[in-house]
Structure 1
Amino acid sequence: MASKRASSGLTFKATMAQVSVPASSANVGPGFDCFGIALELRDRYAAQVLDDPTFDVDVTGEGADEVKKDAKNLVIKAMMHGFEHMGGKPKGIALRALNVIPHGRGLGSSASAIVGGLTLARSLVLTGEQYMSDEDLITLATELEGHPDNVAAAFYGGATIAWLENSIDASGATKSIGKAVSLKVDDRIKALLLVPDNQLATAKARKLLPETISHQDAVLNSSRAALLVHALAQRPDLLFNATEDLLHQSYRASAMPKTIALMQKLRGAGLAAVVSGAGPSVMVLYANSEDEIDQIPSLAPGFTAMKLAIAKTGAQ
């Protein structure tokens, strides 16, 4: 295998690296900022180290006219963050991206880009896993994304539980480290995504959340989040109860009234409907007959329906 040695001692592979990364839906109802589930809708990236100090970026598909095509591209930023962690940066990078995950819809497009970039960086370094473990990758991805739920699902696949731990670095400063574990999802469970045309910024959605909630609401959410683990693993018949939430979704109604109205209409029909991430998409988890699910799009004018399998694998 041809390779290029950096002054840092890292050896960059001369060949191209490729990765596909699934979409992800965070929260899944009660699991605010900790639950994520990977969906079989994948952005694909390919990258190669260049000898010239340039960033050659080409993007096709979703958001191609909106994303940066230079060093500020999110995949490139993630790659450089990964290279810096491993101890050396290449002079330049050629990147090709084929995006299919809708942007700004609560489906983890930024998490896909970040996980894709870090995975590419590791793949382009000889024995890269010695310099960046899976745990390191989740930590680095969390630093870029700000929270670990989407990036964990995008990297590991299946369902994930993610959290932040305080850690003291070499300088004595305390920093939050992203951690995650993966859960296998019952093979019977599938997802229906209802995706509106409009976008919603996660930061805007977060500003609508209250500083405090009642003890009663906190107890309900804790019980539902605990039940969600069991429901996803082996009891899809419990998904409706397990996805009940009083922590965040209703408080965001003013930012996405059509989304919340649709979610409430579907839950009124006994379906396990939740806001996907920060919205404005709605996700329905189901293991019941396809005939019943096929009737849902007629109840959701203005939303595009997408049937998706749960992604059993993450970045690959």
Structure 2
Amino acid sequence: MSAPEAPGLRITVPASTANLGSGFDALGMALGMYDVVEVRASDGRSRVEVAGQGTRELPSGERHLVLRALRAASNHLGHDAGALRVFCQNAIPHSRGLGSSAAAIVAGITAGYALAGAELDEGALNLAADFEGHADNAAASLYGGLVLVWRSEHGFHASRAEPHGLLRPVVAIPEVRSATAATRGLLPETVPHADAAFAAGRAALVVHAVTTRPELLLAATDDRLHQGYRRPAWPASMALIEALRERGVAAAISGAGPTVLALTTDGVLPEDVDTTGFEVRELSVDLQGVSVDQLS
């Protein structure tokens, strides 16, 4: 007869989209696609098992991102979590601009806080941002809804806003992948003042459009700050964005790409737009953010 499993935690963390056009490193939104991580005590060495996205690609021990983030949170809180057995059921595609790394980091940090008996706080956001270098995806996965993030001399901060109830995001996910580091390398050191002013106005407008005036989404998601410079990384995605925008659909690159985000109010894309090579999915806006359940 096998020994009963040790009690543990189940962490459910949503995917995220970032930027929403010109809100580069400043805006994020949680999406209804979830990774689920279960954490239990182990009587031996720590190990990580993965099912779904990333199977056979990710490390199985302390180098796994969830476990690294958990250890960082434990160290921050002065808690020794000991040896752990972690199981990851991953639904968020990797390297597609849907916040898979941020979700793993948030899951690990949340587990570390829960094991230490601590409530999530702004320190958790800053731990996550330390891993990523920016806070937009992590804040969305932590808090749900629309998030506005900024950085001060005291670290990263975030404020949550409630998306409009009519908003029905659609994502078009290609098979090809991209890496945030590579796409950031395509950005210039400076941009023209007129483009910076354009981006500031549109980033402000997208907050208003997402929360209050969805009919303004097409104008709000226009961008001159980063997408044009990074076109070589995802030409097919940019072609799809342009085709959608020509038909009145508010479309933009999701995060570092190459996924295309369309912010609609009906959950569908025009039938005459060619989406060959993309998996098109309607997703809800996640309003809760990361959650923790006790396992018996």
Would the TM-score normalized by the shorter structure come out above 0.5? Answer: yes
CA contact (8 A) 1:59 1:96 kept: yes
1:80 corresponds, among 43, 52, 71, to: 71
Task: Give the Cα separation in 1 of the matches to 2:77 and 2:258.
Answer: 37
Cα shift at 1:163 = 1.3
Task: Give the letter aligned to residue 238 of structure 2.
Answer: I
Q: Which runs of 5+ in 2 are unaligned?
A: 1-5, 292-296
- Deviation, 1:294, is 5.9
**Which residue in 2 is equivalent to 1:128?**
118
Q: Which residue of 2 aligns with 1:170?
A: none
* Paired position in structure 2 for 1:314: 289
Query: Does the 8 Å contact 1:276/1:282 carry over to 2?
Result: yes
- Partner amino acid, structure 1, of 2:67: I
For residue 31 of structure 1, give the secondary structure of its aligned residue in structure 2: coil
Q: State the shift of 1:188 in Å.
A: 0.4
Rounded to whole Å, the distance in 2 between the matches of 1:89 and 1:194 is 42
Q: CA deviation at 1:206?
A: 0.3
- What do the CA deviations read for 1:250-303 (whole angstroms, capped 9, x no partner)? 11111111111111111111110000001001000011x45x53626x521111
Map 1:109-120 → 2, pairs under 5 A: 109-120=100-111
Give the drift of 1:147.
Answer: 0.6
The CA distance in 2 between the partners of 1:42 and 1:96, in whole Å, is 14
Verify the 8 A CA contact 2:81 2:112 in the aligned structure 1.
no
Structure 1 ranges of 4+ moved more than 4 A: none
Q: Which residue of 1 aligns with 2:184?
A: 206
2:25 to 5, 29, 33: 33
Question: Separation in 2 of the partners of 1:199 and 1:83?
Answer: 32
Q: Whole-Å Cα distance in 2 between the matches of residues 248 and 124 of structure 1?
A: 40
- Deviations 1:206-257 (Å, cap 9, x if unpaired)? 0001111111111111111111111111110001111111000011111111
RMSD of equivalent CA atoms? 1.3
The whole-number CA distance in structure 2 between the counterparts of 1:248 and 1:267 is: 17
Tell me, yes or no, if structure 1 residue 67 matches structure 2 residue 63: no
Deviation by residue 1:128-150 (Cα, 9 ceiling, x = unmatched): 22xxx421110111111111000
* TM alignment of 1:175-194, pairs within 5 A: 177-194=155-172
The secondary structure found in structure 1 opposite 2:34 is strand
What SS is found at the alignment partner of 1:216?
helix
Match of 2:92 in 1: 101
**Among candidates 146, 150, 157, match of residue 159 of structure 1:** 146
- Deviations 1:10-52 (CA, angstroms, capped at 9, x unpaired): xxxx730111000000101010001001100000001023343
Cα pair 1:50 1:90 within 8 Å, conserved: no
Deviation digits for residues 62-119 of structure 1 (CA, Å, limit 9, x no counterpart): 1111111110000000000000001022331110110000000000000000000011
Whether 2:290 is the aligned partner of 1:303: answer: no
Q: 1:128 corresponds to which letter in structure 2?
A: A
Give the gaps of 5 or more residues in structure 1: 1-13, 168-176
For CA contacts below 8 A with separation 6 or more, give which structure has more relative contact order: 2
TM-score, length of structure 2 as denominator length? 0.94
CA distance, structure 1, for counterparts of residue 89 and residue 194 of structure 2? 46
Cα shift at 1:186: 0.5
**Residue in structure 1 matching 2:232, options 254, 268, 271:** 254
SS at 1:90 equivalent: coil
1:130-180: CA deviation from partner (whole Å, max 9, x where unpaired)? xxx42111011111111100000010000101111113xxxxxxxxx1211
